[in-house]
Amino acid sequence: MIPANHPATPSPRVGVLLINLGTPDAPEPGAVRRYLAEFLSDRRVIELPQLLWQPILRGAVLTTRPSKSAHAYAQVWTDAGPPLAAITREQAAALQGAFGADVVVDYAMRYGSPAIGDRVRALKEAGCARILLAPLYPQYCAATTATANDKAFEALAGMRWQPAIRTLPPYHDDPAYIDALKASVGASLATLDWEPEALVASFHGMPLRTMDLGDPYYRQCLETGQLLSKALGRDLTVSFQSRFGPAKWLGPATDTVLAGLPAKGVTKVAIFAPGFSADCVETLEELAIRGRETFVEAGGAEFAYLPCLNASAGGIAMLRAVLARELAGWVRTAA
Ligand SMILES: C=CC1=C(C)c2cc3[nH]c(cc4nc(cc5[nH]c(cc1n2)c(C)c5CCC(=O)O)C(CCC(=O)O)=C4C)c(C)c3C=C
Ligand SMILES: [Fe+2]
Ligand SMILES: [Fe+2]
C-alpha cells in the first residue's frame, strides 16, 4: 500500500531550459557594475586565486569598466531591452511553438535574471520530471557551458526529489548548425551590392592558458570555421575578439585582423560571429560599430556585419533539430 501522505508522482512532462550568458538590467554604470561583479567573480571565468583577483576586480576593474561598457550597451539597447535578453526570449517562444505541448520551453541567464536556479525550480513545479539543460554555446567552453550547468546543478543540490537531467553537448560540427550558418551567411551576403574580398568569422576569445588546461573551445572554433569554409566553398579567416585583461589570449585578434586587411589589398570585408547564438553587445557594438571604425580607419572601403542566427526561421529549425536529438526517448515526437 502506498501511504496516503506519500508525494504523488508528477506528470512526466519534459522541460528544456535554454541558457545564455546574461546581460545588465539597464545600460547604466550601476547596473553594469552589478552584472560585471557577478560575471567576473565566477571562478570558471577568471581562473585566478580569489585573494589575488578580488582586490583587482573591486579596485581597478569595477571602477573603470562599468562606465565604458554602459556606453557600449546604450548604443545597442532596444525597446525590448538588451539584445541578448530580447533574442533569447524570442528563441524560447519560437521553440515552444515548434515543440508544441510535448515540451515546456523556458530560458535563463547565467548572470542576472531570469536566474537558472529559479527557472529549474519553476520547471520542476510545472511538473517537468525530465529537464534538458541547453547552454546555447555551439563550442564548449568551461567559462560558458560548464558554468551554466554548474549553476543548474547547484539548484538541484537543494532538492530532495530531483528531476532527471540531460545537458546539451557542443554542436560546433553538427551539420544542422553548419547548414543554418551557411544559409544565413549566404542570405546576408546576397543583400549586399558589393562583393566582399574577405569573410571573417569572429569567435569570442579565451585566455590561451585554457587551451593548455584542456578546454576544447579553440579546437572546436577552428573546426566550425573549417566546416563552414568548406560548406560555403570559400576561404574564411577565423579570429578571436573581446580580449579581457593582460594575459595572452587566443589569436589572431579580430581587431588586429581588421586593421591589417587594407594593407594586404583587402578593402571590402564581411564579418560574422558564428559562436554567438544571439546578437549581443559583443557583436553589435564591438564588431558592427567598433570593428567597422577600425577597418575604415585602416583604409577599408566596404564593411558589413552579418547577424547571428538569432530567432530566424533557419536558426530555430536548427535549434529544434539539435535539441530534439537530445530529447530522444523522452519525447515521442523528438528526432
Ligand atoms: C560565446 C562565448 C563566450 C566566451 C567563450 C566568453 C568568455 C569570456 N568573456 C569574458 C569577459 C566578458 N564578456 C562579456 C560579454 C559577453 N561574453 C559573451 C560570450 C562569451 N564570453 C556574451 C554573449 C557576452 C555579451 C553579454 C551581453 O550583455 O550582451 C563582457 C561584458 C561586456 C563588456 O564589459 O565588455 C565581459 C567583461 C571573459 C573574461 C571570458 C573568458 C574567460
Ligand atoms: Fe565574454
Ligand atoms: Fe567586448
Q: Residue 180 falls within a domain, yes or no?
A: yes
Query: Residue 189 — pLDDT band, cuts 50, 70, 90?
Result: very high
What pLDDT sits at residue 192?
Answer: 98
Sequence ranges of the binding site for Fe(2+): 204, 282
Do 43 and 167 fall into the same domain? yes
Cα 200 to Cα 112, 180, 195, 236, 271, distances in angstroms: 31, 17, 14, 6, 5
Do 277 and 234 fall into the same domain? yes
Do 115 and 135 fall into the same domain? yes
Q: Residue 6 falls within a domain, yes or no?
A: no
Task: List, for residues 243-288, the tens digit of each pLDDT value.
Answer: 998 899 999 999 999 999 999 999 999 999 999 999 999 999 999 9
Give me the mean pLDDT over the 294-311 stretch. Answer: 98
The mean of the pLDDT values for the chain is 96
CATH number at residue 91: 3.40.50.1400
Q: Residue 331 falls within a domain, yes or no?
A: no
Do 48 and 69 fall into the same domain? yes
From the CA of 137, give the closest atom in ligand 1. Answer: 1
- Ligand (nearest to CA of 44): 1
Do 132 and 202 fall into the same domain? no
Sequence ranges of the binding site: 204, 282
**ipTM field:** 0.96
- Ligand (nearest to CA of 245): 1
Q: Residue 109 falls within a domain, yes or no?
A: yes
The x, y and z cell numbers of residue 286, run together, are 564591438
Do 82 and 210 fall into the same domain? no
What pLDDT sits at residue 332?
Answer: 74
* Pocket of ligand 1 from Cβ distances under 6 Å: 21, 23, 36, 45, 65, 69, 82, 84, 137, 141, 143-144, 204, 206-207, 242, 244, 275-276, 280-282
From the CA of 68, give the closest atom in ligand 1. Answer: 34
Do 166 and 180 fall into the same domain? no
Q: Residue 333 falls within a domain, yes or no?
A: no
Do 104 and 247 fall into the same domain? no
Q: How far is the CA of 252 from the centre of ligand 3 (A)?
A: 16
Cα 87 to Cα 84, 227, 307, distances in angstroms: 5, 26, 12
Q: Residue 72 falls within a domain, yes or no?
A: yes
- For ligand 1, atom 33, the nearest C-alpha belongs to 69
Q: Residue 284 falls within a domain, yes or no?
A: yes
Do 132 and 270 fall into the same domain? no
60: pLDDT strictly greater than 60: yes
From the CA of 46, give the closest atom in ligand 1. Answer: 42
Range of the domain at 86: 13-171+315-326
Q: How far is the CA of 3 from the centre of ligand 1 (A)?
A: 51
Mutation to probe ligand 1, out of 53, 64, 171, 204 (largest number of atoms < 8 A from CB): 204
- For ligand 1, atom 32, the nearest C-alpha belongs to 69
Task: List, for residues 125-142, the tens digit of each pLDDT value.
Answer: 999 999 999 999 999 999
From the CA of 47, give the closest atom in ligand 1. Answer: 42
Q: How far is the CA of 56 from the centre of ligand 3 (A)?
A: 19
Do 17 and 166 fall into the same domain? yes
Do 67 and 36 fall into the same domain? yes
**Number of separate domains in the chain:** 2
Q: How far is the CA of 39 from the centre of ligand 1 (A)?
A: 9
Do 201 and 135 fall into the same domain? no
